[in-house]
A and B are shown apart, each in its own frame.
Chain A
């Protein structure tokens, strides 16, 4: 479902990604770990079609990027560092707008369902400008899930979420994976992704530094992560 082969990304003289290779199968949830500046967000932006690779091959949901980016966009949900919503609109208006762009049938019911899920149904008619950071993150999550994407690319999805919403998000992601969605999560929250992902990939200095299988996740992940990082020289 996601195949990345020898991917490199250059920003001027700086190489943000150096020959990264990765494969995530259908229904699999993989954590993308690494220190700040390791290239996690750049990799997710390339997979979302928001940035162009400098070299290498990228395939998302059976679509070759950047050639078939338009077809890939319809099938992927992306949650970035920014909420990607409009502050002068309400939560309702934001989701209605994106539902129109995705030509979503029965949009009203889907919007109700998502606002209920992220706990914003009571404040759905308020302007987003007045939302807290956590509420914005919840709305961004609803926007990313709106069109029932087959591939989910999540960059620090748990940041700014309270414990209850973070747990609800985990349940949603597990349900999405069971339904066949492919999920790639970049995170620093090792405890949480350790209990969520089926395996982890460590990026260090723009390279795939290590692969951590299921056995090394869970409560032991922080230790394994540190060891892998030390081996990678991070």
Chain B
């Protein structure tokens, strides 16, 4: 068991070290999110109350597309010099590769969210001092990355992977996005846990089922 977690940790660390050196993926995700914030902020001619009401939808749509940018990159880099084969040759459980990459993707997504949320707060009249909102961000991002990493591995073997991933991922991630928007909206608009609990339950269940599927099927997905 210890060796399993050591492999997960090693793979996650490797992805973080590679990104730290290149700074390509997180930079692209950050630029994308900031541009979308500015585009929405200056093109939507609406009052501050309406702005706050739509904030959660804008937030998750932007994070989802930024997440797709990152997910596309994370497995594409494995294919560039055949390094996925290098991972598959190592005597580690294949599911450890899935969890290592999912955790690295979650880290990248959370970094982007943490850096861009103050801008959202500014333009959409949101308060960030709400632990519930942070909980939704963590759960929603975990669910998105766990399904996204699985599908990115599937798409990585296709020739047009950049086109295939969003087509596969967005329908599969729809329950996550709907639940995340509803729960975030409840917290942003001050409705509290009572209104958010049903959506949070969906996120918890999804966040358990998807990693379980990844644990069982990643081996078959990466097999030739």
Chain B interface residue number, banded: 20 to 34
A88 adjacent to chain B (CB < 8 Å): yes
Would you call B83 an interface residue if the criterion is a C-beta within 8 Å of the partner chain's C-beta atoms? yes
Contact B6 A103 (CB under 8 A): yes
**Which residues in B have their C-beta under 8 angstroms from that of A82?**
81-83, 85
Cβ distance B25 to chain A, nearest Cβ, rounded Å: 10
B224 touches A52 (CB 8 A): yes
Interface SS of chain B: helix, strand, loop or mixed? helix
Contact status B14-A86, CB under 8 Å = yes
* Interface: A83 (CB within 8 A): yes
Bound form: Cα–Cα A31–B100 in Å:
38
Q: Evaluate whether A84 and B81 lie within 8 angstroms (CB atoms) in the complex, with A50-B89, A98-B86 already known.
A: yes
Please, how many angstroms separate the alpha-carbon atoms of A39 and B92 in the complex?
28
**Contact across chains for B82 and A83 when beta carbons are under 8 A apart:** yes
Q: Which residues of A contact B92 (CB under 8 A)?
A: 101
Q: Is the beta-carbon distance between A97 and B10 smaller than 8 angstroms? A: yes
**Which chain A residues border B7 with CB–CB below 8 Å?**
100-101
Contact with A along B51-73 (1 / 0, CB 8 A): 00000000000000000000000
* Closest Cβ–Cβ distance, residue B123 to chain A (whole Å): 34
Interface code A61-92, partner B: CB below 8 Å = 1, 0 otherwise?
00000000011011010101111111111000
Q: Is the CB of A74 within 8 A of B91?
A: yes
Q: Which residue of A lies closest to B23 (CB)?
A: A88
Closest CB-CB distance, B126 to chain A, in whole Å? 35
- List, in ascending order, chain B residues with CB within 8 A of A73's CB: 89-91
Tell me which residues across on chain A come within 8 A of B13, comparing CB atoms.
97
The residues of A that contact B224 with a CB separation of less than 8 Å are 45, 50-52
Query: How many pairs of A and B residues are in contact by the CB < 8 Å rule?
Result: 80
Docked complex Cα distance between A88 and B14 (Å):
10
> Which residue of B is nearest A78, CB measured?
B89
Q: Which single member of A81, A97, A98, A103 contacts B82 (CB below 8 Å)?
A: A81
Q: Is A93 an interface residue when CB atoms closer than 8 A count as contact?
A: yes
Contact B17 A93 (CB under 8 A): yes
How many angstroms from the CA of A49 to the CA of B224 in the assembled complex?
10
Please name all residues of chain A whose beta carbon is closer than 8 Å to the beta carbon of B80 when the two chains form the complex: 87
Asked if A48 CB lies within 8 Å of chain B CBs, one says: yes
Give the one of A51, A71, A74, A97 with max B CB within 10 A: A97
Q: Is B43 an interface residue (CB 8 A)?
A: no
B82:A89 contact, CB within 8 angstroms = no
Nearest B residue to A45 via CB reads: B224
Does A57 belong to the interface (CB within 8 Å)?
no
CB distance from A97 to the nearest CB of B (A): 5
Which residues on A sit within 8 Å (CB–CB) of B93?
Answer: 70
1/0 per residue B1-35: CB within 8 Å of A? 00100110011011001110110000000000000
The residue in A76, A103, A136 that gathers the most chain B C-beta atoms within 10 A of its C-beta is: A103
Q: Check: B77 CB closer than 8 A to any chain A CB.
A: yes
Residues on B with C-beta less than 8 A from A93 are: 14, 17
Which positions in A face B, CB cutoff 8 Å?
45, 48-52, 70-71, 73-74, 76, 78, 80-89, 93, 97-98, 100-103, 127, 136, 143
- Which 9 A-B pairs have CB atoms at the shortest separation, nearest pair first? A82-B82, A84-B86, A74-B91, A101-B90, A88-B18, A100-B10, A88-B22, A73-B91, A51-B224
Query: Can you report 26 A-B residue pairs in the complex whose CB atoms are below 8 A from each other?
Result: A49-B88, A50-B85, A50-B89, A73-B89, A74-B91, A78-B89, A80-B85, A81-B82, A82-B81, A83-B81, A84-B81, A84-B83, A86-B83, A87-B77, A87-B80, A88-B19, A89-B17, A89-B18, A89-B21, A97-B13, A97-B14, A98-B86, A100-B6, A101-B7, A101-B87, A102-B91
